[in-house]
Amino acid sequence: MPWKKPPLTLVWYGLARQGASLYPTYHELEDGVTLATGDGVQLFLTIRPSAYLYVLHQTAAGEFALWWPAETHGFNAMAEEGRVQTLPSRGRVYTMEVARGTEAIYIIAARKPINTVDKLTRELRWLFVTTQALAADVPPSRIREIVPRNLEWEVDLADPNPVAVVDQRVPIATTVKAIGALRKSEEQWVSTAEGGTYVVQAEQLYGKDVIARVIRVHRTISRDESE
């Protein structure tokens, strides 16, 4: 039998910190979570086998902020197999700035690296153009006509990953929720900077050469506005 590569597998879970005081509350990070100005997000990611990991925050205006890898560390996106990558770091969160609308967090794991921000943005756009078209039952022959041939993250149109979609659109991902097979994983205990402990539900995503998860976030200016 020919050698077959093991599937690319990502396990992720996260916390949403609500409140910027000394005594914030924490909740599980999940699709459609509401975050006000000053709230925060912390992510925990594990990949198998070793692969390249990219995490981006898309604002309500459609602009991207790169959360991982850090450009100051040479844009090294390699994640070692089995290691829990905590973003931004243990005891810290990504703090939400003033915004209203729908934002998104993109998590992408890939076997091939992308080495610049400009190329990452281009690859990201075509990855989701292709998978959105597949989800909409566009014929592979038609997709091949519009997709460039020099992409690093080229989707296997003959045998693509499963694509999960949602009703709510965001720029770039449009309605794509996940690229790859999605299922629940084991619950995880997570400690916060204030000493609290929470149990959160982890999620597993697996597939071929590129897998991705898009977490939509409902943004408000203040906590009172969301109640």
| Domain residue limits at 186 | 8-111+177-226
Helix/strand/coil for 132: helix
Is residue 13 domain-resident?
yes
Peptide bond connecting 88 to the previous residue in cis, omega within 30 degrees of 0 = yes
Adjacent-strand bridge partners of 45: 12, 85
Is residue 141 domain-resident?
no
pTM assigned to the model: 0.94
Q: Give pLDDT tens digits for 169-181.
A: 999 999 999 999 9
Question: Rounded to whole angstroms, how far apart are CA atoms 24 and 148?
Answer: 47
Is residue 164 domain-resident?
no
Q: Give pLDDT tens digits for 58-91.
A: 998 889 999 999 877 678 999 999 999 999 988 8
Is residue 100 domain-resident?
yes
Question: Rounded to whole angstroms, how far apart are CA atoms 103 and 89?
Answer: 22
Question: Rounded to whole angstroms, how far apart are CA atoms 215 and 12?
Answer: 11
Q: Give pLDDT tens digits for 112-156.
A: 999 888 999 999 999 999 999 999 999 999 999 999 989 999 999
CATH number of residue 49's parent domain: 2.70.50
**Angle, vertex CA 98, rays to CA 60 and CA 27, nearest 5:** 85
Question: Rounded to whole angstroms, how far apart are CA atoms 207 and 9?
Answer: 7
Is residue 27 domain-resident?
yes
Is residue 84 domain-resident?
yes
Confidence label for 192 from pLDDT (cuts 50, 70 and 90): confident
Is residue 70 domain-resident?
yes
Is residue 121 domain-resident?
no
Q: Find the farthest-apart pair of alpha carbons in the chain and give their distance in angstroms, rounded.
A: 61
Looking at the 3D structure of the chain, how many domains does it have? 1
Q: Give pLDDT tens digits for 10-53.
A: 999 999 998 866 788 999 999 999 999 999 999 999 999 999 99
